[in-house]
Amino acid sequence: MGGSSPVIGILALQGDVREHRRMLESLGATVVEVRAVRDLAGLQGLVIPGGESSVMDKLTRLFGLTEPLRWAIDEGLPVLGTCAGMIMLANELADGIEGQETLGGLDISVQRNAFGAQRESFDTRLDVRGIEGPAMDVSFIRAPIVTRVGDGVDILASLDDARVVAVDNSQCMALAFHPEVSGDERLHAMFVARAREYPPLPGDLPTTLV
């Protein structure tokens, strides 16, 4: 398995890459910004950050990363997706724009921008399953919600009105909110520990992917 400083990639085509990088490095991870297929070699985990999911999808396809990322997820690579990253990890997208695709990995359905426009963004405190200590301080910024949870997916957190905002299937963890913005590192620490146990992706990916 991997060493004490796991190598974690951040999909760095669009979104809040810097905030995730700062938090992961503070937790002892070695961070690689993923912009090309070659950047996947050696990864033990991947973060898909917040941003604009439709733009992220288009750029992922433009840079030839869609199928390699799907392959890596199928291989069991641990993934953390926040906000737009949750959308990218969903098997089903309820309200995507025409032609919008996801990477998949979680048997969930997701609704984009479920909380309205940017001005409806808000901070709150949230109890998250598996997180010890006080409730987490989190930020919701044009956030999605999970409208369907399939077999094998655990609900980690819901709002007071029962809307699901965090899920996990022991490989892929998806959050509608931004702990990297509010500064609570406990979910990232859980993810870093998970990545530490995953063997690095091979340097030679299947020839059909490169």
CB contact at 8 A, 192 and 80:
no
Any alpha helices (H) in the chain, and if so which ranges?
Answer: 17-26, 53-62, 66-74, 84-89, 179-182, 186-196
Question: Is 120 marked active-site?
Answer: no
CB contact at 8 A, 29 and 61:
no
* Cα 157 from Cα 194, distance rounded (Å): 19
Please identify which of the residues 172, 180, 185, 188 carries the catalytic annotation.
180
Question: Is 92 marked active-site?
Answer: no
Please identify which of the residues 83, 172, 185, 188 carries the catalytic annotation.
83
Please identify which of the residues 19, 20, 172, 178 carries the catalytic annotation.
178
Token pair of 132 as six digits: 């010890």
- Beta-strand ranges (E) seen in 67-190 are 79-82, 90-93, 106-111, 122-126, 136-140, 145-149, 154-158, 164-168, 172-175
178: left (phi over 0), alpha (psi -120 to 50) or beta: beta
Question: Is 83 marked active-site?
Answer: yes
* Cα 65 from Cα 6, distance rounded (Å): 22
Residues assigned a catalytic role = 83, 178, 180
